[in-house]
A and B are shown apart, each in its own frame.
Chain A
């Protein structure tokens, strides 16, 4: 889980981009990598196939603004969306602090979105986590494509809890930082809530 280093005045959190194959998780990370100041981010590690399918995961360390004098560091991960790589997905979720669930808005991907969401729940449960305790937001990606479903229906399918959701066109960067900022804010907020409870 998230760590706070009081000596270094540093907070470190792990955010995972989760979703079905080809929904745009890596595109999100690539956009973030390309549009953040070089000294505030590390190198992006991507283990992908020649067909640009994530083989294991992508990793991008990122630093955000100081909060209450603490440096906030985020480790951004993506998971391979393909069904057969469940072991890797499970492993990447280990120690997760927040999840961005990326949905593909295309009609033909609706079922895959739902299956992936259920798989996220199952994999979190295998570590004793749940979506009740792990902050997550939903990103409806590829909103620029012609064959997309309305967000109302996507909300009905994957977001009946009505957690924060964002429409995005990751390839153009629309909604990318908004989604990231929201989950980071939720993760830090939860952390601070826990600290307060601990203090009491």
Chain B
């Protein structure tokens, strides 16, 4: 599940930035020993590689644009840290030569320190990276099997048939183990039945009420009061036999009128889980609009026992009061 950017995250970002700037300043004041000289292009390359890896580790589903944005953001924060450290150094030394101070804090040790702190600063901000819309196919849940009742049948002779000894094991735990399959149980294969023409018109306000709140905007809701939505019959028909019509938010978006689609929170900004949420359309609005031929049953194929009904006059009669 995608994490939220919380107040604690914001606090730790600010704290890490201040601590990073102070530490960079302190590190720049340490007497540097004669060390390895690394050229600027190599340093930049190492920096980009470290930041790029960090972004990928944080969000493996990140888009290419998001990945570049992440590296650029980290680099920007690193530069801001060394700049802040340089400015603080200038203030502390009461010198007007800020450029010299910035030069000092841009050396390898404070720069490495700034890189580490840039990662700390940006870690809570990783939630803002745009992610790829990856289709999540959930495993279908079979009809729940009960673990609640342990039963035994006694007396299998015909006269005793139906005599049961039943012991309840743990009803509550069985209820937990056997959740009802809801609309999220199966992602349906929509857009799968070409050849059936026609559309079903649904009031948009009803549909928007079924959408996750995270992607609704006031403008979209206002449009919903006046507009309706047409869904091709060919995408509804395959699901009718399943006694439900379910679409993912992503699929429904593509069917929305353009104005409403634009008014919603865009899919690239929306949570992946929200985009894969399944919305169950109200059958009571769909079925009455169906053409008669859609619900036409194949010619009857009665089972062998169907012709075995007793003749007239031989029927079963119960003595009712």
- Interface of A toward B, CB cutoff 8 Å: 3, 12, 14, 32, 34-37, 40, 56-57, 59, 62-65, 67, 72, 75, 77, 83-88, 91-92, 94-95, 107, 110-111, 113-115, 118-119, 122, 131-135, 147, 149-150, 152-153, 155-157, 160-164, 177, 180-182, 184-186, 188-190, 192-193
Contacts and interface: CB of A to CB of B under 8 A. Distances in A.
B258 interface: no
Contact of B143 (A83, A91, A190): A83
Contacts of A14: 161-162
A156 B314 contact: no
A82 to B, nearest CB: 9
A114 B282 contact: no
Given A83-B144, A88-B166, A192-B310, 16 more contacts: A14-B162, A37-B320, A57-B164, A77-B162, A84-B177, A85-B146, A92-B164, A107-B282, A119-B143, A149-B287, A153-B240, A156-B241, A160-B297, A177-B318, A189-B305, A189-B308
Given A64-B316, A110-B243, A163 B303 contact: yes
Contacts of B159: 3, 12
25 contacts: A32-B318, A40-B319, A64-B318, A65-B317, A65-B319, A67-B316, A75-B161, A77-B162, A84-B175, A86-B143, A87-B146, A88-B166, A91-B153, A91-B164, A107-B283, A111-B243, A122-B143, A133-B304, A135-B306, A157-B240, A160-B297, A162-B297, A162-B300, A192-B308, A193-B305
Chain B, interface size: which category? 35 or more
Nearest to A107: B284
B212 interface: no
A149 B166 contact: no
A36 B150 contact: no
A113 B242 CA distance: 10
